[in-house]
Structure 1
Amino acid sequence: MMNIQKNEFYYGFDVGGTKIELAIFDANFNKLHSQRTYTPTHDYKKFIDSIMGLVEFADNLVNAKGKIGIGIPGIVNHKTKQQLAVNVPCLTGKNLVDELTHLLNRKVAIENDCRCFALSEANTEQTKNLSSIFGTILGTGAGGGLVFEGKLFRGSNGIAGEWGHVPMSANIINRYNLPLFKCNCGLTACNERYLSGTGLAQVLDAKGFSVLNTEGFSQQLSLGNNEALKLFDMYLDMLASALASLQLLYDVDAFVLGGGLSNIQNIYSGLPKKMTDWLLPNVVPAKILPPVFGDSSGVRGAAMLNQSI
């Protein structure tokens, strides 16, 4: 057992297609402990048992009953409370929140993992004086979350922040002669199909620039490859158009970027200038900020869920 004083503790779970991460935080959201286990993606009972086992371990470790928040890729139907989780198919159609609340005899909060990232990054030293933050994931997919005064804004369907499934601007499609990619969501030309890591790789391939992954593209940028630099300028324009549209809707103070593409440093210097081309005259682009907690933001934001609902 850890030698710590009895206090409030928060457990964050970050559920992915390969691993479940548990992190234990104190009342100030300092991380005290973390561990991982594999995700039983096709066995619901094993999934429930894994979560319950980790909670029991955490309770014993801190000698208390911690508050539980879980971040999961996918969406929750806020009327039926059923999950839709493509990466963890055993959860789809299940009312996970009510079942875990009953089995663990305490309140359990569940939210999309991208919105957990946004909640975490809206509660840091670099954003503490900002009122509105849009967390913008540029990873395998493109997701996000909208946070006002430190609290998540979910909307009537609980999907606020799903900018990845807003259509890419026709102006951008025409300017760069881009293909109309079909999206797995059933729509066509979603932002995710062009601006996520996976989408960028598809765009590069369509332009005849072959790299194994976005890390390879980033390496070509650092080497000063002229074609890579030209295509990166195109990518910045595509991203600037999408974020400018979000600013015109929400007028946020800052966008905090996450995911693998957020590691490309040139994004932060080049994006604001590009955004001015897509904004109204005299509108100042929102700040473009790197993540403070990076890959750990999802689990930290999940732990914060019981403070934000």
Structure 2
Amino acid sequence: MIVSFDIGGSAIKGGFAHSETEITALPRRATPGNDFAAFVEVMRDIISQAPEQPESLALSIAGVVDPDSQKLTCANIPCIHGRRLAEDLQTALGYPVLIANDADCFAMAEAISGAGRGHRIVFGAILGTGVGGGLVSDGRLVNASGGFAGEWGHAPVIAAYAGNPPVAIPAYPCGCGQVGCVDTVGGARGMERLHLLLHGTNLSSEEIVGLWLAGDAGAAATLDVYMDLVAPPLALAVNITGATIVPVGGGLSNVEPLLTRLDEAVRKRILRKFDRSLVVPSQCRIEPGLIGAALLGLRDVEERRRAA
């Protein structure tokens, strides 16, 4: 049995995993963002509720671990940002610790327990506040040690013009330090940024989508530009990875007509032709980070047993 965690800026979710199909989730706890000792105590308290002694801990975190230095980049939780977190937690809690990026955990959950079942190569895409992704091949997470593989949201590749008639798109600065990344236009905040550019009006992504579904011409223009900017880099990711399914999570994935349109736009732009949907809603709607971390942790325990 392992204890898995889905750690976000506002909440820590814990769970106990006995197998890939037996994962019990616990209530959320507030994340102590600025106090590492308090952060450790929340984890310790969750571990204390385990029905038996865990073999290891597995964490899903909205950040990436540098594979060389093992330092974590996690800007929204200051007390763990820049730490060798696996080492620090192992010292504090006394258990082996595995850390994975939350988008990677989402991809793993979808590949094993969700929409990617039966597919060799699964590219999990996140369209939430921003854009993220993870890549699973033959049931294994690609580049699990770092969390960088699959990050299609962070590359300066957005088009300079989009829409019909074409509109000039600024190379917006991205939180990763580059400019013109997919992340700046592809998530909910990006859609809002595009609507402001086109119409000079600040609306939430929910309002923009609602107007689009109601037939509003201005919102339709925003969605035209959005598709022109997001579909090509996602199609490129499919071409490069050979993925045969792209489960999508995040808030925008809940808008079925938007995913249907994105699926059609991506399939028009890829080399391999599918007569079925490629870009699909995720199926692990509840706690995919927790599930993905559990799956990775269980497999890590199994591999360490075989190596012993």
- Superposition TM-score, scaled by structure 1 size: 0.88
Give the C-alpha shift of residue 73 in structure 1. 1.1
Q: Distance in 2 between matches of 1:173 and 1:157?
A: 33
Give the C-alpha shift of residue 269 in structure 1. 2.2
Cα distance change of structure 1 residues 236 and 298 upon mapping to structure 2, 3 Å threshold: same
Cα distance change of structure 1 residues 83 and 146 upon mapping to structure 2, 3 Å threshold: same
Number of the residue aligned with 2:21: 29
Higher mean C-alpha displacement, 271-280 vs 191-200: 271-280
Cα distance change of structure 1 residues 204 and 65 upon mapping to structure 2, 3 Å threshold: same
CA RMSD of aligned residues (A): 2.2
The one-letter code sitting in structure 1 at the alignment partner of 2:74 is A
Give percent identity, aligned residues only. Answer: 28
Q: Distance in 2 between matches of 1:283 and 1:179?
A: 32
Q: Distance in 1 between matches of 2:105 and 2:114?
A: 17
Higher mean C-alpha displacement, 295-304 vs 84-93: 295-304
Number of the residue aligned with 1:199: 190
User: 47, 50, 64: which one pairs with 2:39?
Assistant: 47
Counterpart of 2:3 in 1: which secondary structure? strand
User: 161, 184, 189: which one pairs with 2:180?
Assistant: 189
> Are 1:107 and 2:93 matched, yes or no?
no
Q: For residues 227-283 of structure 1, what are the alpha-carbon distances to aligned partners after superposition, in whole Å with 9 as ceiling and x for unaligned?
A: 212322332232211111101211101111111111111133222332244334x64
Provide the aligned length of Structure 1 versus Structure 2: 297
Number of the residue aligned with 1:4: none
The one-letter code sitting in structure 1 at the alignment partner of 2:143 is R
Is 2:231–2:262's contact at 8 Å kept on the other side of the alignment? Answer: yes
User: 213, 225, 235: which one pairs with 1:244?
Assistant: 235
Cα distance change of structure 1 residues 125 and 291 upon mapping to structure 2, 3 Å threshold: closer
The one-letter code sitting in structure 2 at the alignment partner of 1:261 is L
Q: For residues 11-37 of structure 1, what are the alpha-carbon distances to aligned partners after superposition, in whole Å with 9 as ceiling and x for unaligned?
A: 221111111111223313333241111
Q: For residues 32-56 of structure 1, what are the alpha-carbon distances to aligned partners after superposition, in whole Å with 9 as ceiling and x for unaligned?
A: 2411111111111111121112111
> Are 1:120 and 2:120 matched, yes or no?
no
Number of the residue aligned with 2:49: 57
> Are 1:146 and 2:135 matched, yes or no?
yes
Is 2:75–2:81's contact at 8 Å kept on the other side of the alignment? Answer: yes
Counterpart of 2:206 in 1: which secondary structure? helix
The one-letter code sitting in structure 2 at the alignment partner of 1:227 is G
Q: For residues 86-127 of structure 1, what are the alpha-carbon distances to aligned partners after superposition, in whole Å with 9 as ceiling and x for unaligned?
A: 000111221111122233333211011111111111112532
- Superposition TM-score, scaled by structure 2 size: 0.88
Number of the residue aligned with 2:207: 216
Give the C-alpha shift of residue 69 in structure 1. 0.9
The one-letter code sitting in structure 2 at the alignment partner of 1:217 is I
Number of the residue aligned with 2:223: 232
> Are 1:16 and 2:5 matched, yes or no?
no
